[in-house]
């Protein structure tokens, strides 16, 4: 808008100045041309009168004129023979033609207007005598140089004045545009700040035209209202989940106390009530976690923090160990494909732990009896890393994939849960500049990937280098300095089987064969 307004005003100003300056330049040129012609015409008429009377003043006045202007003057008789001649009259055939026309008493056309770049000479001729009898002619050749210099000097003064006015006009335009548009620019910044989640973003209201000042004041009131509404909404969710926790825990405690004194016919109803109470507890925890994540997202959008790197390999291995008992209970086989070297991701380790917990928990809960593979990869060339959890369970229809991250969406699964897990995971991933990718697996199953920005690639030990851009996939190993994995020195991929005792084994020389954690 600023650029367009400046262009319109500057073009209008240039047009106004041109409409004033161009006629002025042409007028000054015409005036100087008229002055040049009138002076030469008056002098040549004087010479013709003196030649007609045979006055002795003819030659002195011609000499004075030639000395003053540097013009060439000649007086000829009726036969074209020169009587008086001063200066260089070598004009080729033009002088002879002018003398011949004057002897035949023909009217001479006026010269064009003189411009600063005009050059050459102007030829004036007049007959001696009257229209009935012509006894000779006077011819005068004058240079345009001095008149052109005068015109150029006047034009220069006019153009300098135009430039000064243009500079003043441009300054006034810039100040006017700044006065009008500066509050609009600040209003735009304020709107962006509100969009990013800045609490009560204000703009200075006392600037610009009165209409704009009214708009700025309205924006400040709107910003306060939006901030108050968002604060109340977050407080409502947080307070609701917090206030319901105590009555729910008290109710659960009383239900547990009644467990031993229930008749047999009431036990099914009691079990259903306990399950619903547990589901309500999970729902309240999810709502509270989601409120915290949303508040963190707003804070990060308003005040971006310096990203810190965490070792995805170590974090994922730790969470696999944590979820192993739950996987065993659900007859789920956990397979890790975690690289031997650290994979630094620009994400807080607590956020990455929550993301991995949600993905593994969902895979165990909704794909019992399946194989769940957890993979950590990095593409150093693009600066991105992924933590992927894939199961070979029943999966979900492709049309339902976009809805899996909707809040409170639980699909067709009749299992305990709040429907907030993937919504929380997606919010955490986007808070850290990444994206959550859901894909179906052929022939059946679901793959969920958390793609996050990768940090600087760790320097590998000497003699163990890989080409740039090679994806890292597979193989446990010890970390590098600064990103150590606690208690991990294993260098082989591992499969965890349900009901088995975990034991370590090293990969054999054949790379196609992997050592697994087998059932005892």
Reduce the secondary structure of 160-212 to three states and give it as a string.
HHHHHHHHHHHHHHHHHHHHHHHHHHHHHHHHHHHHHCCCCCCCCCCCCCHHH
Dist. CA 313–CA 317, nearest whole Å:
6
**Measuring CA to CA, which residue among 389, 293, 282 is closest to residue 334?**
389
Backbone angles phi, psi at 419, to 5 degrees: 75, 15
Strand order in the sheet with 446-453: 435-440, 446-453, 384-391, 371-379, 333-337, 494-496
Q: Which pLDDT score, from 0 to 100, does residue 451 have?
A: 93
Distances (CA, A) of 417 to 195, 411, 414: 32, 11, 9
Judge contact between 57 and 75, C-beta under 8 A.
Answer: no
Buried b (16+ CB within 10 A) or exposed e, 152-183: bebbeebeeebeeebeebeeebeeebeebbeb
Domain 210-301 CATH assignment equals 2.40.30.10: no
Q: Which pLDDT score, from 0 to 100, does residue 376 have?
A: 93
Contacts of 147 (CB under 8 A, 6+ apart): 32, 33, 35, 36, 114, 118
Q: Which pLDDT score, from 0 to 100, does residue 407 have?
A: 66
**Domain chopping of the chain, boundaries:** 2-151, 210-301, 306-496
Q: Could you name the CATH architecture of 2-151?
A: 2-Layer Sandwich (3.30)
Q: Could you name the CATH architecture of 306-496?
A: 2-Layer Sandwich (3.30)
For the chain, 520 residues long, the average pLDDT of each consecutive 10-residue run is 78 86 89 89 88 84 86 84 82 77 80 86 85 82 87 90 89 84 80 72 78 82 79 73 74 80 81 77 68 59 64 91 91 89 88 89 88 91 91 82 71 57 82 87 88 84 48 38 34 30 31 30
Backbone angles phi, psi at 335, to 5 degrees: -120, 125
Q: Which pLDDT score, from 0 to 100, does residue 469 have?
A: 41
Dist. CA 362–CA 355, nearest whole Å:
11
Its pTM stands at 0.46
DSSP tag of 266: G
Contacts of 476 (CB under 8 A, 6+ apart): 317, 336, 338, 339, 340, 488, 490, 491, 492, 493, 494
């Amino acid at each position: 808008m600023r650029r367009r307004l400046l262009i319109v005003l500057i073009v209008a100003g240039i047009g106004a100045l041109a409409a004033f300056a161009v006629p002025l330049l042409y007028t000054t040129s015409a005036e100087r041309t008229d002055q040049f012609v009138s002076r030469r015409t008056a002098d040549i008429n004087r010479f013709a009168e003196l030649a007609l009377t045979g006055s002795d003043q003819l030659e002195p006045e011609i000499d004075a004129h030639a000395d003053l202007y540097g013009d060439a003057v000649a007086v000829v008789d009726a036969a074209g023979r020169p009587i008086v001649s001063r200066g260089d009259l070598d004009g080729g055939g033009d002088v002879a033609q002018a003398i011949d026309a004057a002897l035949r008493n023909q009217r001479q056309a006026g010269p064009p207007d003189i411009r600063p770049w005009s050059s050459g000479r102007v030829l004036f001729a007049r007959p001696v005598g009257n229209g009935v009898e012509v006894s000779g002619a006077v011819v005068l050749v004058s240079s345009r140089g001095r008149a052109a210099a005068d015109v150029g000097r006047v034009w220069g003064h006019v153009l300098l004045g135009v430039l000064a006015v243009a500079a003043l006009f441009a300054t006034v335009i810039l100040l006017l545009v700044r006065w009008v548009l500066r509050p609009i620019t600040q209003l735009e910044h304020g709107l962006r700040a509100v969009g990013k989640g800045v609490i009560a973003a204000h703009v200075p209201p006392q600037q610009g035209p009165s209409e704009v000042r009214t708009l700025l004041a309205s924006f400040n009131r709107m910003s306060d209202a939006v901030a108050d509404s968002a604060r109340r909404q977050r407080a409502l969710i947080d307070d609701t989940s917090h206030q319901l926790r105590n009555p729910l825990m008290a109710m659960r405690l009383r239900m547990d106390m009644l467990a031993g004194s229930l008749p047999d016919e009431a036990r099914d109803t009691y079990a259903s009530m306990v399950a619903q109470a547990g589901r309500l507890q999970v729902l309240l925890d999810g709502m509270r976690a989601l409120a915290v994540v949303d508040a963190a997202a707003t804070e990060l959008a308003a005040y971006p923090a310096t990203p810190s790197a965490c070792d995805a390999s170590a974090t994922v291995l730790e969470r696999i160990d944590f979820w192993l008992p739950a996987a065993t209970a659900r007859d789920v086989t956990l397979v890790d494909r975690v690289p031997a070297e650290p994979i630094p991701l620009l994400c807080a380790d607590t956020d990455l732990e929550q993301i991995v917990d949600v993905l593994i928990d969902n895979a165990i809960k909704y794909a019992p009896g399946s194989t769940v593979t957890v993979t950590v990869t990095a593409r150093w060339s693009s600066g991105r890393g992924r933590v992927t959890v894939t199961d070979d369970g029943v999966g979900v229809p492709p049309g339902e994939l976009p809805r899996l991250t909707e809040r409170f969406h639980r699909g067709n699964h009749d299992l305990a849960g709040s429907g907030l897990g993937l919504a929380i995971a997606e919010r955490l991933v986007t808070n850290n500049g990444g994206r959550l990718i859901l894909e179906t697996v052929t022939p059946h199953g679901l793959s969920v990937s958390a793609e996050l920005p990768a940090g600087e690639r760790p320097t590998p030990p000497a003699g163990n280098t890989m080409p740039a851009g090679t994806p890292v996939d597979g193989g446990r190993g010890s970390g590098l300095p600064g990103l150590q994995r606690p208690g991990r020195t294993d260098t082989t991929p591992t499969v965890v089987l349900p009901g088995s005792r975990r034991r370590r084994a090293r990969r054999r020389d054949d790379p196609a064969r992997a050592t697994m954690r087998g059932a005892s």
